[in-house]
Each structure stands twice: as structure tokens, then as C-alpha cells.
Amino acid sequence: MLKKLLIAMLICFCSITTLFAAGQKEAESKDDAVKLVVYGNGGFMRARLRSISTTDEMKSAMHDWILENTGYSVEVLAPGTSSDQDTQKINLLLASGSQLDGFWGDWPDYYSQGAIQPLTEHFKTVGPNILPAWPKSSVDALTHDGEIWGIPRVTPMMSSPTFFRTDWLEELGMDIPETIDDMTAYFEAVKKAKPAGDRTVPLLLNTKGIHGAVPMYDGLLGAFTEYGYSNWMDKDGMLKPYILQPGVKDFVVQLNQWFEEGYIYPEFASLDQNKIRDLISSAVVGATISTSTDTTATDAEQRKINPDCNFALNPAGIKGPMGLAETATPSGYQAQLVPASSKHPEGIVAIQDFLYQDPANFLMSLYGPGNWEWDESKGGKDAVAFTGEYKDYAGDFGWSVSLAAWVGIGLINDREDQNYKQHHYFGISGLGRTPPDVTNTDRGKLPQDAYVLYDQNVLEEEVPGLADLQRMMDEEVFKFIIGSRSASEWDSFINELYSAGMDDWIKAHTKMYLEQRG
């Protein structure tokens, strides 16, 4: 019999009585409590806001639950509809001097501006449960000059897999693709058959991922290049960008062929995450190369349109002329950050530590009361069943959204639960494969310069054309893909990069690489 554990918790706010050894702020009333303001761009809240919003009653209840257990009164600011919008809002808050005590971002971007503060000492005093939950590489990625600059967010992962519609494959009498050629054959079959009518999209290709990933490159470039989506050490002893690898031209030619044949969604280069998820949710897409959660987290929405809709990947990976197509995303620099202007940095760490202390706290922060239950038949607090559709809570306090935080929690759910596909990909509690698809780096290649920290300020000084180079590498490649530039111009394009300062780029990056790697 399933036991509803945490409804009573919100009614009386007394069943969780965890006390902090240091740093806990106790207040006699909401008015006396230390107030924190957090921008909710961790990812979980934005995904949920697509279909639900937090009711005033639930917002008040969750606020009071955090207050009673940590002593902090927290206001959560709703995120925008895209990461670009979030960045603009965060920068505006920081520049205006408005109170902001926490947000998610890549720490080097803000460290270089002196906009964030280290959290090292706070992990020792009020956050002892956080860092032990993470692999060393995740902590190392946030460490510089002996300080830890944020609360980890990302483990090394395969963030940009290729998912295929297995129901369409079955209809077409085809096996799941194993090679680039197999993918081409599948796209052609989908285009001809039009399983979703005139709205059919054989391939949805994403160019703007999260956590430093770029799905178009992370998902495919390894099939055509030795190192995949990575800076690489050439035979001349100089570190060069991915764009200069032999085989990148072949990659671009392949994408151009797919585009010209009508396989790729025509407006792929301008899509934001909201539009990508809308398209996938509409059950009109035959394959996705995007952030994994764009496909897995919309599973329930897909099946509302078409109950047979089902996406799956090839667990052995996709192969091309140069081997495995995917490139792993290292732990990266994404973290929950505390602005330098915050007067209570210990508060953010203390609340996160509370969420890490007990699986019940973590689950409550993500799903709220009434949407999950402990399964007593599995021994009590080691397995949980999801029971609702989360109609009243968008996960405002779901800050610990990471694989590390799920460790030790069992899940009792099936395909009817809206989280099933996402849990399957992340291998949570035995669902999916071992190792989990998300961390199975055997499915792809590892970046050659993973965890090398490139100081943006130094790069801007030593590479005057840095911004132009990045713009050219982004924009000109799209022109080759959509056919506004011919493949015969590729060598000219590379020369244009050198004219814009590529030699400076190579020298500056090589120097930093060798200083850190030797």
C-alpha cells in the first residue's frame, strides 16, 4: 500500500526537523527571515512551465516549507522562454543592482567580470552534503585558484543523442539506423511515406544546446572527424579549433545534402528550445538531434497526440567514416552561482544542502506534495511512485536537478508517468540500460581539451578578432549547410578565418592548454 508521506508535511511543517551544524537562520516570522532572490533558470522549471504553473496556494506552501526548514525566505523569479532570454534578464539584474542571490550559468563568464563569489568555505560550514554527491571531475570543473565558484550542475554526459521514431521504423519495415548511410535511407523513407502527413519532419536538428553543448556538432561531427566536436592538438604541436579538423568539410557537405533533400526542418538555425519542444511534442518528427531532454521530457505530450509515438536511440551509437558520431559533453562550467553582491551566499548553499540531505526533501522540491508516494513494499524510503500530473506546481524550488541528486532514490513508475522516458535515459533506479545512456561515453568520443579553462579576458586581449572568428565559425557554416555558399568555397572560408586572426587564436589557446596540461 502506498503511503502519502509529504501532504502532512506541508500541513504541519514539522515532520522534517533537520538542523544545520552552522549557518542556519532561524526566524520567528516571515517578515524577520533573511530574504533571498533566486532566478529559476536551472532548466526544470522552464520545462514544466510549458504546461502548468504554480498556484498561489502551492507557492505559499512551498515557500513556508523552505522557510521552516532552513530559515530563509526565498522568492523565485520565473525564467524566460529561452536561455538567451535568461542571460539577458540575469545581466540586467546584475547591472541594475537589484537583489539577486542565485542563478545558473557558466561560471567563467561571470568570474571574468568579477560578478560572482566563491562558495568554498560555505560548503564546509553549511553544505557538507553537496560535494560528496558529485564525481571529482564535476567539482574540478568549477575550481580555480583554490576556490570553488558554484554548486555543481552537470556530470560528464552524452547530451545530444540521435533519437529515432521506432513506431515509424516499424511501419517502414526498417531497423534502427547504425550508420550515417542508414540515417539517410531512413530520412528518405520518412519523406516519401509522410507518416504525419504534410507536417512530417524527417530530422529536427538543434544548433543551440545547453551546458555548453551544440547538438548539431556534438551529435554528428565525430562521424567525420577524428576528435569530434573538440579543439585538437595538431602534429605541429599547436591546438586548433574543431573547424580546422580534416573531415569537417565532409560533415558540412552531408548536412547540405540532407537539407537540399528536404530532410532537415528548414528553419533549424533559428529554433529556440520552446519551438523545438513544440515540434517534438506534436509527434510529427522522425528523428531528433537535440538536447536529450527535448525528446525525453516531452514523451507524455507526444503520446497525447499519437499514443504510438516512441523515440529510441541506438545504444551502440551511430558510426560514420571516422567512427562514432557523438562527442561527450564534459562536466562543464554550468553551476548555480551566487552574485558578488549577495549578502547571504551561505543561504543558497544551506538550502541546497537541505535538498541533498534526504531524498524526501529533494523529491518535495521538484514535485510538491500529492504527486508522489513512498512505496512501503520496497522497504519504505528507498522507492517512490509518481502518482500525479503535477498540475499545481512547476518545480520552483527544484534546484538540485542533476543525476547526482537522484542517487539512492528508487522509482516505481511506468510509461504512463510523464517522467518515464527522461528517467530511462538517465538510468535512474535501474530503468534503462547499464551504464545509463546519458553517461555511456563508450557511445562517442571525448573532447581532447576537456577541463582546460580558457580565460576569456586573456583571449580577448591576445586575439583581437576573437568575436569575429566565433561569429564566422557559427554563421558561415550555416551558409554552407543551406547552400548559400558552395562546398567549393570551403578552402576560401578557412583562409578567411586566418585573415580574421586564426593564428592569434591558435597561439593563445595553445599557450593556455600547455600551461594546464603540460
Q: What is the pLDDT of residues 171-187, one digit of tens each?
A: 999 999 999 999 999 99
**Helix/strand/coil for 146:** coil
pLDDT one-digit tens code per residue, 85-121: 999 999 999 999 999 999 999 998 899 899 999 999 9
**Helix/strand/coil for 147:** strand
CB atoms within 10 A of CB 135: 15
Q: In this structure, what C-alpha cell is assigned to residue 145?
A: 585558484
Identify any residues that bridge with 385 across adjacent strands, giving them in sequence order: 373, 412
Q: How far apart are CA 460 and CA 458, in angstroms?
A: 5
Q: What's the number of CA atoms in the CB half-sphere (13 Å) around residue 149?
A: 24
pTM for this prediction: 0.75
pLDDT one-digit tens code per residue, 371-382: 777 666 544 455
The predicted structure's pLDDT at residue 516 = 87
Closest CA to 43 of 384, 264, 249, 336: 336
Residues 169-192 as b/e (b if ≥16 CB within 10 A, e otherwise) read: beebebebbeebebbbebbebbbe
pLDDT one-digit tens code per residue, 244-283: 999 999 999 999 999 999 999 999 999 988 899 999 999 9
Q: Label residue 403 by pLDDT band (50, 70, 90).
A: low
pLDDT one-digit tens code per residue, 292-305: 989 998 998 999 99
CATH number of the structural domain 2-154+333-412 = 3.40.190.10
DSSP letter string, 334-397 = EEEE-BTT-S-HHHHHHHHHHHHH-HHHHHHHHH-TTSEEEEGGGTEEEEEEE-----S---TT
Q: How far apart are CA 177 and CA 169, in angstroms?
A: 9
CA 117 to chain centre: 23
Closest CA to 217 of 187, 183, 254, 270: 254
For residues 201 and 300, the answer to whether their CB atoms sit within 8 Å is: no
pLDDT one-digit tens code per residue, 467-495: 999 999 999 999 999 999 999 999 999 99
CATH number of the structural domain 162-327+437-445 = 3.40.190.10
